[in-house]
């Protein structure tokens, strides 16, 4: 399958920007959309056409129709941690904005759509690696809207022949995300530890997570986009390994040369919908398209810390 021009939504975000760079290296042209609500301003590289736009804007389909788009990577979304406070705004962007994009892609006979869903769709799973066939019982507005988008794609496939792949992303971290004390569990802990010795944690330190480095996540997206075997499939994307929140904090401390005795951890009540256990079985994507994550947690954190120190952020 030859895909020459790819639309990437949320292209200024951490995942979207890493995907965009990988597509450029493959020789693709990229139409990059972002309204810079949460993304960082990115360079004007050859091969990229930037559009500052909201995916929920009714003018967007007309703007997109100016370009010979062959494939879509849909990363744009309101942040998960804001959905409970602003459920209507979350639904406007994450559900209505997405269905508008999918409808446009179906009508234009775009060859392939890759949608970045979330591990949050599994809700509160039992303490074992999660398979794609496990029940999806979302516990937040954000993840309800992600499931809605997965179902939109199935229906549009039946009605229009739209070709799609859904990737349920587990928590992703990396240097292309800007420092934050609210977005992304590892990002939050690292941002605090780079400022001092105290870490404020919302929820139990015994929560178990499966954290994946952004380059691994982007690689899964790009490989899925170009794989016929990925068509009509739902895949977990993660490292396939687990750690507790406490282990993650001490791993960050180790990379920062901060002994555990100096790290002061303050526990606060958890966030509604936050599961105790969230670890993926990634055998399906490994067997179907050969995806294999390359970065361990320690190596990923090391690369992230080096990038932040270099950028002085």
The predicted-structure confidence for 134-170, as pLDDT tens digits, reads as follows 999 999 999 999 999 999 999 999 999 999 999 999 9
| Backbone torsions φ then ψ of 2, nearest 5 degrees | -105, 110
Answer for the pair 23, 8: CB distance below 8 angstroms, yes or no: yes
Burial class (CB in 10 A: 0-12, 13-18, 19+), 197: middle
Residue given tokens 């928590």 in the structure block: 171
Write down the architecture of domain 5-172+213-237 according to CATH. Answer: 3-Layer(aba) Sandwich (3.40)
Domains of the chain: which residue ranges?
Answer: 5-172+213-237, 174-210+241-278+294-311
Looking at domain 174-210+241-278+294-311, which CATH architecture does it have?
Alpha-Beta Complex (3.90)
> In the sheet that 29-33 helps form, which strands lie side by side, from edge to edge?
48-51, 29-33, 5-9, 71-74, 112-118, 164-169, 234-237
Q: Is the dihedral of CA 176, 98, 293, 71 positive or negative?
A: negative
Kindly tell me if the per-residue pLDDT of 81 is higher than 80: no
Which pLDDT does position 272 carry in this prediction?
Answer: 83
CA distance 99 to 151: 10
pLDDT, tens only, 247-302: 999 999 999 999 889 999 999 999 888 899 999 999 999 999 999 999 999 999 99
CB atoms under 10 Å from CB of 292, counted, come to 12
Integer Cα distance of 173 and 147 in angstroms: 22
195-211 residue pLDDT tens: 999 999 999 999 999 99
Does this chain's domain 5-172+213-237 share its CATH topology with 174-210+241-278+294-311?
no
**Looking at the predicted structure, is the pLDDT value of residue 313 above 60?**
no
Strands (E), 107-163: 112-118
The pLDDT value recorded for residue 163 is 97
């Amino acid at each position: 399958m030859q895909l020459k021009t790819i639309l990437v939504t949320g292209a200024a975000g951490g995942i979207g920007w890493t995907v965009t760079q990988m597509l450029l290296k493959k020789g693709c042209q990229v139409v990059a959309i972002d309204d810079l609500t949460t993304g960082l301003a990115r360079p004007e590289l050859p091969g990229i056409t930037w559009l500052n736009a909201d995916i929920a804007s009714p003018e967007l389909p007309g703007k997109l129709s100016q370009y010979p788009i062959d494939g879509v990577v849909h990363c744009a979304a309101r942040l998960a941690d804001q959905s409970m406070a602003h459920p209507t705004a979350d639904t406007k962007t994450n559900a209505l904005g997405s269905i508008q994009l999918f409808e446009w892609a179906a009508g234009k006979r775009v060859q392939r759509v890759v949608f970045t869903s979330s591990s949050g769709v599994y809700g509160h799973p039992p303490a074992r690696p999660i398979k794609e066939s496990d029940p999806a019982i979302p516990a937040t507005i954000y993840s309800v809207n992600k499931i809605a988008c997965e179902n939109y794609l199935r229906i549009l496939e039946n009605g229009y022949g739209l070709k799609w792949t859904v990737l349920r992303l587990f928590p992703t971290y990396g240097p292309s995300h800007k420092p934050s004390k609210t977005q992304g569990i590892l990002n939050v802990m690292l941002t605090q530890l780079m400022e001092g010795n105290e870490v404020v944690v919302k929820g139990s330190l015994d929560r178990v997570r499966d954290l994946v480095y952004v380059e691994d996540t982007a690689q899964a997206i790009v490989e899925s986009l170009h794989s016929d075997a990925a068509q009509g499939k739902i895949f977990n994307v993660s490292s396939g390994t687990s750690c507790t929140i406490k282990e993650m904090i001490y791993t960050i401390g180790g990379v920062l040369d901060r002994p555990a005795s100096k790290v002061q951890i303050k526990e606060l009540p958890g966030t509604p919908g936050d599961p105790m256990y969230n670890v993926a079985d990634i055998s399906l994507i490994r067997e179907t398209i050969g995806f294999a994550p390359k970065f361990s947690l320690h190596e990923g954190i090391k690369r992230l810390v080096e990038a932040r120190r270099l950028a002085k952020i």
